[in-house]
Amino acid sequence: MNYMDLELGIWEIAVLALLREAPMHPYQMQRLLHLRHKDEILALKRGSLYHAIGRLVRGGLIGVEKTGREGKRPERTSYRITPEGTRAFLESLRTIVATPRREPSQCMAALSFLVHLNPKEACRLLAERGKNLDAEIAQHSTRLRGVSAHVARINLVESEYLLAMLKAESAWIRGLEKEIHQGKLVWDLKSILREAAASRKVASQGRK
């Protein structure tokens, strides 16, 4: 596999970033990701980590440094980054930082079908989401304050970004809930479905 044909995801980026520091085995990678609070952006699942390592090995972006055992611990394989891995890592990192990518979330998908809930219920659920977001914001703010005393800010900018996104979502959700509560945004599903049925009928007659 040519490394140019390998699209790097966030897990591959994380592995290459760690191996650019020094050769290490997967357990060390997982431990460092946790200690550096990267678990805020990565789901720390062993399967995801090993899957990323396998893809990088097959792509020639990392290679085996050594396989050995320390004391009674299980045998572990350490990996190192290759020159191609360094190039691919930096190229992908530059592209990701510079290029906005809109990735639809579950919330975005659900909002696209909000019309299937009546306004009163939608208003209640949006208010509930706002409260949950506030709790998450408070949790991340507390964690960020605690970690910032021991870690340089450059290592926490992704946590700042996450916090900013949560605050922006909270403000938008509360604004939408307020509009529905005040009657500025209303809808009636039965009327919408009747209009949709009528438009489908007109369209089908036009094709005859």
Q: Tens digits of per-residue pLDDT, 167-181?
A: 999 999 999 999 999
* Residue 205 resides in a domain: no
Q: What are 64's strand-pairing partners?
A: 79
State yes or no: pLDDT of 94 exceeds 70: yes
- The residue range of the domain holding 39 is 3-98
Q: Residues 153, 187: one domain? A: yes
Are residue 74 and residue 118 in the same domain, yes or no?
no
Which of 98, 127, 146 is a domain's end point?
98
Co-location of 42 and 114 in the same domain: no
pLDDT band with cut points at 50, 70 and 90 for residue 71: low
Whether residues 161 and 89 share a domain: the answer is no
Give the number of C-alpha atoms closer than 13 A to the C-alpha of residue 108, restricted to the C-beta side: 4
pLDDT digits (tens, 9 = 90+) for 143-162: 889 888 888 899 889 889 99
Q: What is the CATH number of the domain that holds 64?
A: 1.10.10.10
**What's the whole-number average pLDDT of the chain?**
88
111 and 159 assigned to the same domain: yes
Q: Evaluate whether residue 167 is within a structural domain.
A: yes
Same domain, 138 and 154: yes
**91 and 121 part of one domain:** no
Locate all alpha helices (DSSP H) within the chain, ordered by sequence: 10-21, 26-35, 46-58, 83-98, 106-111, 119-148, 157-181, 189-206
Q: How many domains does the chain have?
A: 2
29 and 67 co-located in one domain: yes
Q: What is the pLDDT of residues 129-138, one digit of tens each?
A: 999 999 999 9
pLDDT at 83 over 90: yes
Q: Are residues 151 and 67 in the same domain?
A: no
Q: Take residue 33 and report the two structure tokens written for it.
A: 């990701």
pLDDT of 192 higher than 70:
yes
In-domain check, residue 24: yes
Domain boundary among 55, 72, 98: 98
Mean pLDDT of 41-58: 83
Residue 206 located in a structural domain? no
CA-to-CA separations, 30 to 7, 18, 126, 194, 199, in angstroms, rounded:
22, 10, 36, 54, 55
Overall pTM surpassing 0.85 (yes/no): no
